[in-house]
Structure 1
Amino acid sequence: MQLTQADGPERRVTRLAHAGVQVLRPWPLSDATVTPPDVAWEVFGCDEAAGRVDRTVDNDDPDYVVRGNEAWYSMAREFGLFDADETFLLSVPTGPGDFEDPQWFEVRLAPEWDVFGRGVEEFVLGHGARTPAFVMHSKDGALLLASGWYQFVSSVLVVPRPWTAAALRRSAEDRLAKSGWTDERRTAARQWLALATPTE
């Protein structure tokens, strides 16, 4: 059951619900405290100098889903993904492709959730079994949390204070130098870049 061009945002919301992720509302692009959604996907290019911390799960681990969910949830708790209402932001594509026109949505976990299992298999938090691909953000802008897969392992990673990460700042600057962004996205990106001087 892979995403097709017929799958729009409503279908993705339904698939996220199957994984125990409740979509509450779109998050305004104008919120400049949060990393621009297009830029946030460049988090995989950050390194330890940006404060990146990884936890990995072997792709051939028989308890892969359990261990992946545990790694994700423990890092989310430890590094502050959730707010007082247990909500956070999830990048959801609003175009027909897998990563086209990403937009932040405010979400909350249902009592029964399965990010690394059902979420990945539904092709909304990844590309099928053992291939996670998602980016999340704390609503206060202080933390990016993501997961990706590699040949032998899957990784859950965090980058605190993402506005200071050189790789993310370069991505925002490169995008601003080109056409393609709406005025709203461009304004928010400039304000995000102005939050602080990079530390790496």
Structure 2
Amino acid sequence: MLCSDQGFFAAGDPQFLIAVRDLEARHSNTSWWAHVALQTEWDLAGTGAQLGVTGYGWGHPEFVMLSTDGNTIIQGSQGQVWTDIVCLREAHRIQSFRETGVKLAKDKSIPEETRDAVDRWLNATSPE
């Protein structure tokens, strides 16, 4: 409901991008975007987290999802007491996000594919 209500995807077309961690490098922050479609049997915080794809054990989610148009970001993480879900619409309008994007796109310690993706996002969106 959150996803369709916030424009993350259309009710009849539940496609989005999800950051998937490199399961071979457990202690790495390396991830890649997978283009997926939500299925009714998905369990992001349970089975997905237990398998290490969307978290760090059953009930301990840690994931980032991006709408296919790049306008909406959803992040899930296990907080002190609750599972925190944050939905950010029109991130391209937030100056600090754009400034961070510019820094990331220039940072040679960031993988080239990531820098290229950030650069594409900056060029495809306008702060207005």
Q: What TM-score, normalized by structure 2, do the two folds share?
A: 0.78
2:127 matches 1:197 = yes
Contact 2:8 2:67 in 1 (8 A): yes
Determine the C-alpha separation between the residues in 2 that align with 1:130 and 1:111: 18
- Counterpart code for 1:77: S
Deviation per CA, 1:12-31, whole angstroms, max 9, x where unpaired?
xxxxxxxxxxxxxxxxxxxx
Deviation by residue 1:26-64 (Cα, 9 ceiling, x = unmatched): xxxxxxxxxxxxxxxxxxxxxxxxxxxxxxxxxxxxxxx
1:138 aligns with 2:67: yes
- Count, aligned residues: 125
Pick the structure with more helix per residue. 1
- 2:115 aligns to what? 186
- List structure 1 segments (4+ residues) > 6 angstroms apart after TM superposition: none
Please tell me the residue identity of whatever aligns with 1:79.
Q
When the two chains are superposed, the root-mean-square deviation of aligned CA atoms in Å is: 2.4
The aligned residue for residue 106 of structure 1 is 35
2:57 to 128, 136, 150: 128
Unaligned runs of 5+ residues in structure 2 are: none
Cα deviations across residues 52-90 of structure 1 (Å, max 9, x unaligned)? xxxxxxxxxxxxxxxxxxxxxx21121122244322111
Higher relative contact order (Cα pairs below 8 Å, separated by 6+ residues):
1
Q: CA deviation at 1:147?
A: 0.6
CA gap 1:88/1:128 in 2 versus in 1, 3 angstroms: same
Gap regions ≥5 residues in structure 1: 1-73
- 3-state SS in 1 of match to 2:45: helix
